[in-house]
């Protein structure tokens, strides 16, 4: 366990922020740097079949140490960090949390406070790894990477723990929705796997959003405002009208648990042309389809009102709720749940309000629930992770591997 924090901090300092405008895979060079570092490290600790493919996917094997045939299991995490916040010059800090405000940055007076983030109160007396207030931390998902590698090293160093074969993989570009695009399920050769990409201590997730993205292009007509009466079509105002026709309560800031939403992610425009981007989310497939139908109806209405081809909608499904693929083999959730309990943790089985590589991989033939990595406030300069939660994640990975062999 003493290497766990050192590993995580070393990984966190590499800028692996992904870029959805890039056409390459991985989308950024820092992910390749980290992939090579991990491959070398895995070789040093004794893992086998280490591979980095041309797309930056890293795979390795921990051979089994029993003659009994048991299912091959896998553990996965992703190399990239979110493009939502800068990852340049990440400077992780170790802080013993006393229950008071944490001063992250003296110069800029940036404070991590339990008033804003009351979950901090759960970790009084524990050591936290925080940012310096100017970047994200990257616990999503470099904590998962550090935990998986540490668990594999622990199993190598403790051969008295009997286990079957274990496959591990680290994927690029998960944060921009491409993590499973080029993943070779057949080469990975596991019956089931777990992404170590969740949040707080004890979380276990096998449900996620159904997801779509919508790009809306609006063609207006610009006329001198002094002579614009009955002529001008202001595309920005049409965009505002479209947004106001969506249910005001169905947005991320007013929804929780199983509630879906429309999320306006970007709007750029002039009188003549405006582009609006949304993501559409719901756990329930019927409600998800109704949300998409509503978007189509609104666009059709605006085209009737303002003229054919005024509003153009491009909508694309991104991923689906893995619950459909997990429930028929629910024992893999129960296995993880038992491992969490035997590690002295109360399981928190909750839906993911997002997606992971596991949701896509489950539909590609690799059922893949999600385990906690331990962090909080992902994609933010206020991101932090308790060291004890990371240690417990390692313990759960080891315990799953052990229980799978019984």
Alpha carbon of residue 322 to chain centroid: 14
Which residues, 6 or more positions from 291, have their beta carbon under 8 angstroms from its beta carbon?
A: 250, 260, 262, 280, 282
Q: Closest Cα partner for 14 from 39, 38, 31, 27?
A: 31
Which residues, 6 or more positions from 343, have their beta carbon under 8 angstroms from its beta carbon?
A: 392, 395, 396, 399
In CATH, what is the architecture of 211-319? Answer: 2-Layer Sandwich (3.30)
Q: Closest Cα partner for 200 from 123, 288, 99?
A: 123
Give the global pTM: 0.91
Known active-site residue 174: yes
- Angle at the Cα of 11 from the Cα atoms of 10 and 14, rounded to 5 degrees: 100
H/E stretch holding 334 reads helix 331-342
Known active-site residue 80: yes
The Cβ-side half-sphere exposure at 331, using a 13 Å CA radius, reads: 7
- 141: cis peptide before it, omega within 30°? yes
- Angle at the Cα of 233 from the Cα atoms of 229 and 235, rounded to 5 degrees: 145
Residue 165 near residue 64, CB atoms below 8 Å: yes
The residues spanned by each domain of the chain are 2-207+321-404, 211-319
Residue 5 near residue 149, CB atoms below 8 Å: no
Which residues, 6 or more positions from 373, have their beta carbon under 8 angstroms from its beta carbon?
A: 77, 139, 140, 141, 143, 144, 147, 196, 197, 198, 199, 385, 390, 393
| β 127-130/273-282 pair status | unpaired
Question: Would you state the structure tokens that stand for residue 310, as one six-digit string?
Answer: 């005024």
Nearest 10 degrees: CA dihedral of 175, 180, 181, 184?
150
Residue 354 pLDDT:
85
The stretches in the chain having pLDDT less than 70 are none
pLDDT digits (tens, 9 = 90+) for 321-352: 999 999 999 999 999 999 999 999 999 999 99
Catalytic position from the list 41, 80, 197, 205: 80
Catalytic position from the list 153, 173, 174, 197: 174
| β 370-372/203-205 pair status | antiparallel
Sheet containing strand 384-386, edge to edge, reads 93-96, 127-130, 384-386
CATH class of 2-207+321-404: alpha beta
């Amino acid at each position: 366990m003493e290497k766990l924090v050192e590993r995580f901090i070393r990984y966190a300092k590499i800028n692996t922020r992904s870029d959805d405008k890039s056409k390459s895979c991985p989308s950024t060079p820092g992910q390749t740097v980290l992939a090579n570092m991990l491959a070398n490290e895995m070789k040093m600790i004794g893992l086998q079949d280490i591979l980095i493919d041309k797309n930056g996917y890293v795979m390795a094997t921990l051979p089994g140490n029993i003659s009994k045939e048991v299912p091959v299991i896998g553990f996965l995490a992703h190399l990239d960090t979110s493009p939502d916040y800068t990852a340049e010059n990440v400077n992780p800090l170790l802080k013993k949390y006393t229950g008071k405000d944490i001063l992250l940055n003296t110069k800029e007076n940036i404070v991590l406070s339990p008033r804003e983030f009351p979950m901090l109160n759960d970790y009084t007396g524990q050591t936290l790894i925080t940012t310096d207030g100017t970047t994200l931390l990257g616990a999503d998902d470099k904590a998962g990477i550090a935990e998986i590698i540490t668990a594999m090293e622990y199993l190598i160093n403790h051969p008295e723990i009997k286990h079957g074969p274990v496959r591990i993989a680290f994927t690029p570009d998960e944060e921009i929705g491409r993590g499973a695009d080029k993943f070779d399920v057949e080469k990975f050769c596991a019956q089931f796997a777990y992404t170590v990409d969740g949040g707080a201590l004890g979380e276990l997730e096998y449900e996620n959003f159904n997801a779509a993205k919508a790009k809306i292009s609006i063609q207006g007509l610009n006329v001198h405002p002094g002579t614009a009466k009955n002529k001008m079509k202001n595309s920005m105002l049409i965009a505002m009208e479209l947004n106001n026709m969506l249910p005001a309560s169905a947005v991320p800031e007013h929804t929780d648990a199983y509630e879906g939403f429309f999320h306006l992610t970007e709007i750029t425009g002039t009188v003549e042309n405006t582009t609006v981007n949304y993501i559409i989310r719901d756990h329930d497939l019927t409600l998800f389809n109704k949300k998409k139908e509503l978007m189509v109806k609104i666009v059709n209405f605006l085209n009737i009102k303002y003229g054919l081809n005024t509003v153009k909608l491009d909508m694309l499904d991104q991923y689906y709720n893995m619950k459909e693929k997990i429930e028929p083999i629910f024992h893999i959730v129960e296995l993880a749940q038992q491992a969490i309990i035997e590690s002295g943790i109360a399981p928190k089985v909750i839906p993911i309000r997002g997606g992971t590589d596991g949701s896509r991989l489950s539909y590609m033939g690799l059922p893949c629930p999600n385990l906690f990595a331990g962090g909080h406030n992902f994609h933010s300069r206020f991101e932090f992770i308790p060291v004890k939660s990371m240690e417990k994640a390692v313990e759960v990975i080891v315990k799953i591997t052990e229980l799978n062999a019984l």
